[in-house]
């Protein structure tokens, strides 16, 4: 199985603060760091670090070709990443508190310059045994889902940043929907009940320190969060989803997919940064088998 990820590619500009600012409040930054990020990029790196076959479809600024070199070192196939001179690479302005909590402001930039014709050509290389993964940070998610569904691919959708108006029309076309607790509550408030979700659709709910839950029809599987001293929770949910899909790819049972993903996310939050903190499959196996 191969995974085509229609995903964002961002520069994460991280300000560390003692506590997150309230509305109208000014706080002093303790320091500043710049990392590679974006939900799409993080998920591609997580899949690759877990040993999965992932091809990333996205756009960066022509000035930032070094991003491709970094991704290649992680094992991400970058043949479908294009460059533009019309926009800056996407950016995320991230505030990280001392307890690991974060708040994020996004600048889409080049992430909204994906071309439908290039996506059509990319999907020509995939079959109905493959997956399409996408999020809500680019201009091509809905079109990609429509194309992939018509070609028989399975579809995983990370519903963030959460946009109910975009989600509801494509909901019946999704095989695996990934949300966090807040997004889940917003979804249920809109549809009324979890049983209103399409039949045979899998729902993956990440709950931070409370673990995660997998729901498909009447089946529910819960996993505890891996015990970790969280330094920075940015990218934890992306790490979980990426590892989950990669483990699903190699035929692991859902419960084991959840356990691998939980360990990976737990290890990831113990370091600063998002994609640069995602552990290798070898590191995760040590804790899985320990």
Q: Which CATH number is 145's domain given? A: 3.40.1190.20
Q: What is the pLDDT of residues 109-137, one digit of tens each?
A: 999 999 999 999 999 999 999 999 999 99
Number of domains in the chain: 1
CA angle 113, 151, 176 (to 5 degrees): 80
The answer to whether position 101 is within a domain reads no
How far apart CA 42 and CA 19 sit, in angstroms, is 25
Question: Chain-centre distance of CA 229, in angstroms?
Answer: 22
pLDDT at 272 over 90: no
Q: What is the C-alpha separation between 273 and 276, in angstroms, rounded?
A: 6
Is 215 inside any structural domain? Answer: yes
Confidence (pLDDT) at 275: 96
The pLDDT value recorded for residue 273 is: 87
Q: Is residue 93 part of a domain?
A: no
How many angstroms from the chain centroid is the CA of residue 285?
A: 21
Backbone angles phi, psi at 144, to 5 degrees: -65, -40
The enclosing H or E element of 16 equals strand 10-17
Return the pLDDT at 179. Answer: 98
Residue 274: which domain range? 3-9+37-87+111-289
Q: Is residue 227 part of a domain?
A: yes
Instruction: Please report whether residue 105 resides in a domain.
Output: no
Neighbours of 69 (CB within 10 A): 9
Q: Is residue 54 part of a domain?
A: yes
| Residue 106's pLDDT band (cuts 50, 70, 90) | confident
Residue 49: both structure tokens together: 């670090």
Whether 183 is in a domain gets the answer yes
How far apart CA 237 and CA 208 sit, in angstroms, is: 8
- Does the pLDDT at position 70 exceed 80? yes
pTM of the complete model: 0.93
Q: Give the Cβ contact number of residue 127 at 10 Å.
A: 11
């Amino acid at each position: 199985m191969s995974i085509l990820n229609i995903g964002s590619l961002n520069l994460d500009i991280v300000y560390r603060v003692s506590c997150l600012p309230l509305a109208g409040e000014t706080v002093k930054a303790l320091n500043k760091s710049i990392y590679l990020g974006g939900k799409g990029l993080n998920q591609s790196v997580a899949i690759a670090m877990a040993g999965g076959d992932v091809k990333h479809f996205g756009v960066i600024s022509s000035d930032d070709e070094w991003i491709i070199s970094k991704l290649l070192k992680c094992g991400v196939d970058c043949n479908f990443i294009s460059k533009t001179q019309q926009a800056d690479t996407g950016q995320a302005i991230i505030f990280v508190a001392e307890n690991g909590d974060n708040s994020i402001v996004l600048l889409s930039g080049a992430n909204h310059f994906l071309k439908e014709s290039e996506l059509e050509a990319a999907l020509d290389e995939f079959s109905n045994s493959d997956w399409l993964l996408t999020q809500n940070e680019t201009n091509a998610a809905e079109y990609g889902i429509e194309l992939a569904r018509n070609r028989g691919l399975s579809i995983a959708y990370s519903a963030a940043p959460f946009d109910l108006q975009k989600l509801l029309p494509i909901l019946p076309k999704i095989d695996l929907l990934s949300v966090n607790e807040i997004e889940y509550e917003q979804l249920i408030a809109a549809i009324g009940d979890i049983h209103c979700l399409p039949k045979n659709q899998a729902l993956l709910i990440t709950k931070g320190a409370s673990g995660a839950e997998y729901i498909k029809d009447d089946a529910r599987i819960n996993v505890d969060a891996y015990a970790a001293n969280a330094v920075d929770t940015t990218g934890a949910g992306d790490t979980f989803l990426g590892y989950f899909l990669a483990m699903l790819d190699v035929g692991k049972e859902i419960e084991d997919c959840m356990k691998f993903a939980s360990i990976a996310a737990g290890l990831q939050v113990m370091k600063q940064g998002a994609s640069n903190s995602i552990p290798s499959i070898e590191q995760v196996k040590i804790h899985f088998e320990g």
